[in-house]
């Protein structure tokens, strides 16, 4: 993973994180609240060729176009999680693209969604945000084909992304199988690190603090394209289920996978990769509202013995542009890791799947 070159901003006096109350995926509606509200909505009937919709909180919808081709559709946007406008645009784009990768697809086009406070931010901020996004889209081989913007009180940016996948090669969060090995591609901790920066305990500019921020930003800008290397190695079918780890935290998204697949996930907490500085930020109390709502979301389905409070907070930490959680056939898990590590240096086995009548997260300290 290479360090992004766009962290430093020519507009040093502007701190985007101070213009909003919540940043990145920590601004998501709480998972339990979202489920409760959506249950009150009468959705239109789904066509037979809609293969995946929102009922399992999958990362994107998938609609069959032909026997050999399906369309992956997703939408993601949020408020600034970092101060650099260009880095913010790059992170927002990477995060939106991740939903297509999590379904086993390849993104092809994107539309921009922008809310911009014309009265309070200079035009160059808009230019930098868009350029950061376009840099990542170019890296992914995706075109920006249009979009929509409004004048709003706070800056928000994201993308609606379309991708393609073979209907029989979809990765969803409902396919985990007994005995599978769980692999996580990125380190955890972006939520607490960004909270520390917002509260002036970390800076992108101060030398002794900058490396923590730079490592976190580099992770959030790492494209989650695990499909290409695995397909090239003949290992695509070794992945039985997948999801990306974002605002509901590792525990929330892992629970969605367990529930949708009807299995238990046995998590080895000591194997979870962690961003430098994240544990100290948690110890220092740099938390978000999402830490509480994520814990509430999984509390009835979360079984842990001897788990220290800081590691539990890490599992609830709301990630922005986090890694993929892959459920992989056990006999090919080591080979999958070997193929992924040149791109995802910290990728690790973090647990396994167990068939059970009661879906649950079982955490081993």
**Where do the H-state alpha helices sit in the chain?**
31-38, 85-102, 123-140, 190-198, 207-220, 227-232, 249-261, 278-283, 289-298, 309-316, 333-340
In degrees rounded to 5, what are phi and psi of residue 307? -85, 125
Place of tokens 């992945």: 239
* Residue 146: partners with Cβ closer than 8 Å, 6 or more residues away: 111, 112
Handedness of CA 186, 187, 188, 192 (dihedral sign): negative
Q: What is d(CA 100, CA 107) in angstroms, rounded to the nearest whole number?
A: 6
> Do the beta carbons of residue 269 and residue 307 sit within 8 Å?
yes
- 25 is an active site residue: yes
In degrees rounded to 5, what are phi and psi of residue 152? -135, 170
How many CA atoms within 13 Å lie on the side-chain side of 198? 24
Tokens of 127: 């230019």
Q: What is d(CA 307, CA 296) in angstroms, rounded to the nearest whole number?
A: 17
Q: What proportions of the chain, in percent to the nearest 5, are helix, strand and coil?
A: 40, 25, 40
Tokens of 335: 């080979």
Question: Taking each helix axis from N to C terminus, what angle separates 289-298 and 31-38, rounded to the nearest 10 degrees?
Answer: 60
Q: What is d(CA 238, CA 326) in angstroms, rounded to the nearest whole number?
A: 10
Catalytic residue among 25, 134, 221, 281: 25
**Residues identified as active-site:** 25
């Amino acid at each position: 993973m290479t360090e992004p070159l766009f962290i430093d901003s020519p507009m040093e006096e502007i701190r985007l994180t101070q213009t909003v109350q919540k940043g990145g995926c920590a601004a998501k509606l709480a998972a339990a609240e979202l489920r409760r509200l959506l249950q009150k909505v009468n959705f239109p009937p789904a066509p037979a060729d809609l293969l995946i919709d929102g009922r399992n909180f999958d990362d994107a919808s998938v609609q069959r176009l032909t026997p050999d081709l399906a369309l992956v559709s997703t939408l993601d946007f949020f408020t600034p999680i970092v101060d650099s406008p260009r880095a913010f645009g790059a992170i927002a784009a990477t995060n939106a693209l991740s939903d297509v990768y999590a379904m086993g697809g390849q993104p092809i086009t994107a539309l921009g969604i922008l809310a911009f406070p014309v009265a309070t931010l200079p035009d160059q901020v808009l230019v930098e945000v868009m350029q950061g996004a376009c840099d990542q889209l170019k890296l992914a081989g995706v075109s920006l084909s249009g979009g929509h913007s409004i004048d709003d009180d706070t800056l928000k940016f994201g993308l609606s992304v379309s991708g393609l996948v073979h209907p029989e090669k979809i990765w969803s969060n409902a396919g985990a199988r007994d005995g599978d090995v769980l692999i996580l591609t990125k380190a955890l901790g972006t939520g607490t690190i960004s909270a520390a920066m917002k509260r002036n305990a970390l800076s992108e500019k101060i030398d002794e603090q900058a490396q923590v921020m730079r490592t976190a930003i580099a992770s959030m800008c790492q494209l989650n394209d695990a499909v290409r290397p695995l397909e090239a190695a003949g290992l695509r079918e070794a992945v039985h289920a997948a999801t990306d780890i974002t605002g509901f935290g590792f525990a929330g998204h892992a629970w969605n996978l367990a529930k949708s697949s009807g299995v238990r996930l046995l998590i080895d907490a000591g194997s979870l990769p962690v961003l430098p500085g994240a544990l100290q930020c948690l110890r220092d109390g740099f938390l978000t509202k999402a830490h509480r709502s994520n814990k509430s979301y999984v509390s009835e389905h979360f079984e842990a013995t001897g788990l220290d409070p800081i590691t539990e907070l890490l599992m609830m930490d709301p990630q922005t542009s986090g890694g993929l959680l892959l459920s992989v056939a056990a006999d090919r898990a080591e080979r999958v890791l070997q193929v992924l590590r040149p791109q995802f240096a910290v990728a690790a086995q973090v647990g396994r799947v167990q068939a059970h009548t009661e879906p649950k997260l079982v955490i081993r300290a």
